[in-house]
Amino acid sequence: MSSNIRSFLAIEIDENLKKSILNLQNEFKKINTNIKFVNPENMHLTLKFFGDISLDCSKKIALKIEDIIKNYNSFELELENIGSFPNKNYIKVIWIGFNENKTLSNLQKELDNEFYKLKFKKERNYTSHLTIGRVKGPKNKDLVKKIIDENKNIKLGKINVNKISLKKSTLTANGPIYEDLKVFKVI
């Protein structure tokens, strides 16, 4: 049995915003399409996906995070607009974006540079986003595109970022289960 854990670094979303996101997901649910929606308890902004790592590596990651996070104060992010990856004509992921935020950008880059020293690949084009659904087929693609277009300038609310979490992800037949490995306070 492997002692590796699948992990990532995340900013979690508060309950009020989850309700707003669920309302948006419900717009897609009204049409007959093949979208697997992210469960509210799993909604988050990923700062870095590590994949399968050892427990020892997770401890090294935690030390890097502790060194960097102490230089940051809490900050605010606004969830705004909706989009898709890889693009509007070939939709695999539906996401909600965040306002441009210098603090988030600096934090992500600084963390990424430190993780690179631990042999993780650097993010090429980091885009802060929250995945709300994964499209599993082309069924009613035009209606999906229409909902995205109608909501492209949506503003869902703000979150105060006062912690980031190193998470463990266990894949199951019913979807992933996330657990905190360590939570880092942003004061």
Contact 45, 179 (CB under 8 A): no
Per-residue confidence at 59, pLDDT binned at 50, 70, 90?
Answer: very high
Backbone torsions φ then ψ of 13, nearest 5 degrees: -105, 140
Contact 118, 61 (CB under 8 A): yes
Give me the pLDDT at residue 110, please.
97
The single residue of 9, 44, 130, 165 carrying the catalytic annotation is 44
* Structural domains in the chain plus CATH codes: 5-185 (3.90.1140.10)
pTM above 0.85, yes or no: yes
pLDDT in tens, 83-94: 999 988 899 999
Per-residue confidence at 2, pLDDT binned at 50, 70, 90?
Answer: low
- Alpha-carbon dihedral of residues 101, 109, 94, 132, nearest 10 degrees? -80
Give me the pLDDT at residue 174, please.
85
To the query of whether residue 44 is one of the catalytic residues in this protein, the response is yes
pLDDT in tens, 97-153: 998 899 999 999 999 999 999 999 999 888 889 999 999 988 899 999 999 999 999
Round the average pLDDT of the chain to a whole number and report it: 93
Query: What is the rounded distance in angstroms from the CA atom of residue 5 to the CA atom of residue 168?
Result: 6
- Both tokens of residue 185? 């306070």
The DSSP code sequence of 51-98 is EEE-HHHHHHHHHHHHHHHTT---EEEEEEEEEEEE-SSSEEEEEEEE
Give me the pLDDT at residue 1, please.
46
The single residue of 50, 129, 159, 166 carrying the catalytic annotation is 129
